[in-house]
Amino acid sequence: MKLISANWKMNMTPTQTRDYITKFLPLVKDVKDREILLCVPYTSLCVAYDLLKDTHIKLGAQNVYYEPKGAFTGEISVAMLKDLGVSYVIVGHSERRWIFGERDETINRKLLACLDGGLRPILCVGERLEEREAGLTFKVVETQIRLALSSLEDHTDMIDIAYEPVWAIGSGNPATPEDAQIVHKFIKDLLKSINKNYQGKTRVLYGGSVNPQNAGEFMKMPDIDGLLVGTASLDPEAFAKIVNSF
Ligand code: PGA
């Protein structure tokens, strides 16, 4: 099933979360043929869970730590998220990589912890502008995926991947659907080559300046299996339009 996910980033208080979900639910109540996911801040998980638990909308987190428990001030474990009804978590978002210095090795350990704990990760990959201009898009994406999946090659069906070119995120300047399609196809071919038993269950989402006007064009592409939406997901009406755009 296609997956349309909101990534609220560091936005929305618990009170705002309640208002948002109350407005959003009626707008998507009849949409059953695609998966809808809200990746909210940790502090909104409780209120979001209460409002979503009897609905078809899934709850996601935006980050997780790989250790199961212990002296890791400020971190949150897989078990803590699972206990709050979380089923997905974003791992390796470019903001975590480039603002918080998250390395491929850390991302790999986080994926391992998610798979061990039964949480479905959405691994984010994508090139920066200078890498794109230097013709390095495929090399960067391949390296990020290979390192993130190191020793997990047989489990690629248990993760989803978001291709998010860094230059397209929050810039109002999305990739063209055709350019994104080429990278998505490349990612799927790569997964097939690293996992001989691959069953094609990984959805490859596009992210980067998706809005209600362009969402449908991305979803027409054969290898775009969903969307990861930041800015436009902060407005429940705009996000509902994106969900209903194809
Ligand atoms: P954007 O963010 O939709 O604001 O470009 C997407 C993301 O970072 O996941």
Nearest-Å Rg of the Cα atoms of the chain is 17
Q: Which listed residue (93, 102, 127, 184) is catalytic? A: 93
How far, in Å, is the centroid of ligand 1 from the Cα of 109? 24
The Å distance, Cα 197 to ligand 1 centre, comes to 32
**What is the full per-residue pLDDT of the chain (246 aa) written as tens digits?**
999 999 999 999 999 999 999 999 999 999 999 999 999 999 999 999 999 999 999 999 999 999 999 999 999 999 999 999 999 999 999 999 999 999 999 999 999 999 999 999 999 999 999 999 999 999 999 999 999 999 999 999 999 999 999 999 999 999 999 999 999 999 999 999 999 999 999 999 999 999 999 999 999 999 999 999 999 999 999 999 999 999
- Closest Cα to residue 168, out of 94, 89, 99? 94
Rounded to whole angstroms, what are the CA distances from 232 to 7, 48, 81, 84? 9, 19, 25, 25
* Nearest C-alpha neighbor of 160 from the set 207, 128, 197: 207
The 10 Å CB-count burial string (b at 16+, else e) for 46-85 is ebbeebbeeeebbbbbbbbbbeeeeeeeeebbbebbeeee
Question: Within a 10 A sphere around the Cβ of 100, how many other Cβ atoms?
Answer: 10
Choose which residue among 5, 228, 235 to substitute to test ligand 1 binding: the one with the highest number of ligand atoms within 8 A of its C-beta: 228
Phi-psi region of 186 (alpha: psi -120 to 50; beta: other; left: phi over 0): alpha
pLDDT of residue 142: 98
Q: Is 52 in the pocket of ligand 1 (CB under 6 A)?
A: no
Angle, CA of 179, 166 and 117, to the nearest 5°: 100
Of 95, 102, 164, 184, the catalytic one is: 164
The answer to whether the CB of 210 is under 6 A from ligand 1 is yes
Whole-angstrom distance, CA of residue 42 vs CA of residue 39: 9
Q: Which of 121, 49, 51, 113 is nearest to 86 (CA)?
A: 49
Are the CB atoms for 66 and 112 separated by under 8 Å? yes
List, in sequence order, every residue forming a beta bridge with 229; answer none if it has no partner: 6
Output the CA 25–ligand 1 centroid distance in Å.
Answer: 22
> Can you give the pTM of this predicted structure?
0.98
